[in-house]
Amino acid sequence: MTVTEPARSRTGTRSGKATSGRSGRKGGSGRTGGRLRSTAGSLRRATVDWLDRPMTSLHLILAVFALMLGIGLLMVLSSSAVTSYRNGGSSFSTFANQATYAAIGLIGFFATQYVPVRFLKSTSLIAVIVSIALLVAVLIPGIGAYVNGARSWIRIGGFQFQPSEIAKLALLLWMAQVLAARRSTLGSPKALLIPVLPVFGLMCALIMMQPDLGTTVSLAIVFMAVLFFAGAPWWMFVSLAGVGVAGIFYLAVSANYRLARLLSFINPEDHPDSSYQLLQSLYGMGNGGLFGVGLGQSRAKWSYLPNADSDFIFAIIGEELGFIGTFLVVLLFALLAYTGLRIARRNSDPFIKIVASAGTVWLVGQACINIGYVIGLLPVTGIPLPMISAGGTSLLITMVVFGLLANFARREREAEIALAAAGGGRLAQFLGLRPNSTGPRKPMLRRRRRAAAPARQPRPAPPGGRSAPRASGRPPAAAARPAAPAPRPTGRSAAPRGTTARSAAHRTTGGSAPRATPQPGTRSARPTRDGRDGRPDSRRGGR
């Protein structure tokens, strides 16, 4: 009998192949998605673990500082080459001046990392007094230099500096010291505002006499940030903020050139003369596109954009490096904001908390205002971009603030323990990672020496049941480690359970046990609390 196999239909075969193909594609996509989710989870866990390390804050602030300083010097060289060559015959004159201030600032940055907090508190009042004296001196003709429509500079030989930048740092340290000392009575308006408000008002009045509205706005940011992080009540903070905004608006419309800037911000096309700088900035950034026209290839710096190396350097970054370059700069300032607030949160000293958080808001706030008026979101105020714009005094003070943040990052509890426990080479010492010479390291060495010392063995018991006199002195360092004690005998000669050492000695030696001589390099057993050396007492019959 012949059995024929049923024929398979072509349709069923094709449908089976199609089903298997779809299932294979689904399986492949599922495996790919699983790998992506696993990679993302591993990356997230690695990031969280790295952020939990004790030295993360210090590493972040050092990285942000180095990147900002490098980008700033590079862009100052690129944006000022044409103007420097036209004014002085050398394309590197502005860059050389900026590099000189950067070298001085590096010394201040590394020196500030080791300044004690007590010294900052004790000298803050002196710094405020000196800064007020300099603000008064800059208004005297012959001492203060008149540059760009404001008497804001003091020149001493070939060196010049801006006292208003020093006043920001002095006000920050002094207000933090005063409010940290009065943190238990900050609910009272008198304790909160006296004497910080009169000093702030005096500084603002002296700066507006130069006149310099941009620096006044920066000083107001410092003042409000310190009050906020010191714990000022919301009603007081909102009231002062409203009064400050009203005062800035009045100052903006009180002078004709400031009013022209405000009107050009509202409608740039109707005021082409006063909005010329803003329009050239927007043209340059639009020309950059996504990747930029190339480093050093900007067209706006060829006398089209005024102050291309200082106030509007962000526009040159957008033109030469494109959206990628501007995004990198914004990302660095965002990382600075995170790191500064992280340092403030991980410290316990109220003074450090206020200085770190308010100093971070100061730098990031200036960056937001500068980027805002460069792209047309805010009126032009003349505030430089921290660490990026050309300006010697601004760069010096900003680098000192970075040094304070690095100092506070080293004072985190976990960082102090890690720095004290780990060793530091030359590179670590140069980067500020040098461990402290005093700390919990000596007890650790004592424990290691104690653990490496030879073990003490108990001295054999005398027949009288009393402990032998302790040997004097420590064993010599070169002596060999004594052998381990012999195991307890288990034969018939061993003392049965319930008998004492004296009865066992009498039984084996006929009533007299020979006195054991101490071995060299050994010490007697340490006596217990009741004065015995740990052996069973014959009078109590043993245990």
408 and 343 in contact (C-beta within 8 Å)?
yes
What is the phi/psi pair of residue 144, to 5°?
A: -85, 140
pLDDT score of 259 more than 90? no
Q: Which of the residue ranges 226-240, 421-435, 521-535 has the most confident prediction, judged by mean pLDDT?
A: 226-240
Q: Torsion angle, CA of 67/72/77/81, rounded to 10 degrees?
A: 150
What is the phi/psi pair of residue 511, to 5°?
A: 100, -5
User: Residue 282 corresponds to which tokens in the numbers above?
Assistant: 């927007």
- pLDDT band with cut points at 50, 70 and 90 for residue 29: low
Tracing tokens 């949160």 back to the chain, one arrives at 345
pLDDT more than 90, % of the chain: 36
More confident call, 442 vs 172: 172
219 and 171 in contact (C-beta within 8 Å)?
yes
Q: Which amino acid is at 37?
A: R
Q: Torsion angle, CA of 327/332/336/342, rounded to 10 degrees?
A: 90
Average pLDDT score over the chain: 77
94 and 101 in contact (C-beta within 8 Å)?
no
User: Residue 128 corresponds to which tokens in the numbers above?
Assistant: 């405020």
3-state secondary structure of 225: helix
Separation CA 167–CA 260 (nearest Å):
29
Beta strands (DSSP E) in 42-179 are: 144-147, 150-156, 159-161
229 and 357 in contact (C-beta within 8 Å)?
yes
CA distances from 35 to 28, 31, 44, 305 (A): 11, 6, 14, 50
Residue 194 pLDDT? 83
* pLDDT tens-digit map of 397-408: 999 999 999 999
Mean pLDDT of 479-489: 50
Strands 144-147 and 150-156: antiparallel
∠ at Cα 106 (103, 112), nearest 5°?
145
Residue 230 pLDDT? 87
Beta-bridged to residue 146, according to DSSP, are 151
For the entire predicted model, the pTM comes to: 0.73
Radius of gyration over alpha carbons of the chain, in Å?
38
* pLDDT tens-digit map of 341-369: 999 999 989 999 999 999 999 999 999 99
Beta-bridged to residue 154, according to DSSP, are 144, 161
Separation CA 81–CA 151 (nearest Å):
26
Cβ neighbours of residue 140 under 8 Å, at least 6 residues apart?
none
Q: Which has the minimum average pLDDT: 228-237, 246-255, 281-290, 445-454? A: 445-454
Q: Which amino acid is at 524?
A: S
pLDDT score of 262 more than 50? yes
* pLDDT tens-digit map of 380-390: 888 999 999 99
Separation CA 279–CA 260 (nearest Å):
15
* pLDDT tens-digit map of 50-65: 888 888 999 999 999 9
Domain ranges across the chain: 50-420
Q: Which has the minimum average pLDDT: 162-166, 294-298, 440-444, 474-478? A: 440-444
Beta-bridged to residue 144, according to DSSP, are 141, 154
Residue 486 pLDDT? 53
**Alpha helices (runs of H) in 138-267, residue ranges in sequence order:** 163-181, 189-193, 196-208, 213-230, 234-254, 256-266
User: Residue 364 corresponds to which tokens in the numbers above?
Assistant: 């990031």
User: Residue 97 corresponds to which tokens in the numbers above?
Assistant: 């001046």
Closest CA to 346 of 53, 113, 48, 49: 53
Tracing tokens 């004709």 back to the chain, one arrives at 256
